[in-house]
A and B are shown apart, each in its own frame.
Chain A
Amino acid sequence: EPEVTQTPSHQVTQMGQEVILRCVPISNHLYFYWYRQILGQKVEFLVSFYNNEISEKSEIFDDQFSVERPDGSNFTLKIRSTKLEDSAMYFCASRLDRATEAFFGQGTRLTVV
């Protein structure tokens, strides 16, 4: 069964460092998303991506964040200068079209120290 794959599963980084979280969406999907879940809190939307551009972003997704689909298969989330409060589980999701459900990856746990 096709699945969304995220790497790494866990990343520890020092405050101020740049991190790139990687996702491989399901191959024929067209819509891509990043969500995050701070420990013990709800899942929050960060950004959606369609047709090689950001279609919507939340207030959380400030200038420190960027997304890219560099090669037609990977979908990356970059945090330029990490802060302690960026520590969270980051989920990538993809969906086939406008009327189907989103499939989530297993998540990347980011710990900023």
Chain B
Amino acid sequence: AQSVTQPDIHITVSEGASLELRCNYSYGATPYLFWYVQSPGQGLQLLLKYFSGDTLVQGIKGFEAEFKRSQSSFNLRKPSVHWSDAAEYFCAVGESGNTPLVFGKGTRLSVIA
């Protein structure tokens, strides 16, 4: 069965510092991989996705993620964090077809001045 692990429950970074949120997945084939962001009281907004091709994908708000098949990872990065990036970040895995997404437990990002 598919599974997604986000090992960091909560991360605090200073504004302007770089960020990396970790995501590892367990899946037999090449998965579709996603990062969603959830601001307090809000829904899930897609940051970026990987389906195939270039393993470094660019998303909205200056985020990027790199798919590393050998490590079963899809870590999210941002070179310089802004206070507005404080939110909950969810990694998810799926596949083509009508299969549902499997989400990780999320990483809460706090940004301090």
Contact = CB atoms under 8 A, between A and B. Distances in A.
Contact of A56 (B34, B43, B45, B98): B98
Contacts, number: 57
Contacts of A33: 100
Interface of A: 6, 31, 33, 35, 41-45, 48, 50, 55-56, 58, 91, 93, 98-99, 101-107
Interface residues of B, number: 24
Given A42-B90, A42-B104, A104-B36, A98 B96 contact: yes
B112 interface: no
Interface of B: 32, 34, 36, 42-46, 49, 51, 90, 92, 94, 96-106
Contact of A45 (B36, B42, B51, B102): B102
Contacts of A99: 51, 96
B97 A98 contact: yes
Nearest to B46: A101
B96 A48 contact: no
Given A43-B103, A48-B100, 7 more contacts: A6-B43, A35-B103, A41-B105, A43-B92, A93-B44, A101-B32, A107-B43
B76 to A, nearest CB: 15
Q: 4 tightest A-B contacts by CB?
A: A106-B43, A104-B44, A45-B100, A43-B103
Given A41-B105, A42-B105, A42-B106, A103 B46 contact: yes
Nearest to A47: B100
A56 to B, nearest CB: 6
Contacts of A101: 32, 34, 46, 49
A50 B43 contact: no
A56 B94 CA distance: 14
A48 B99 CA distance: 8
A111 B51 CA distance: 36
A102 B69 CA distance: 23
B107 to A, nearest CB: 11
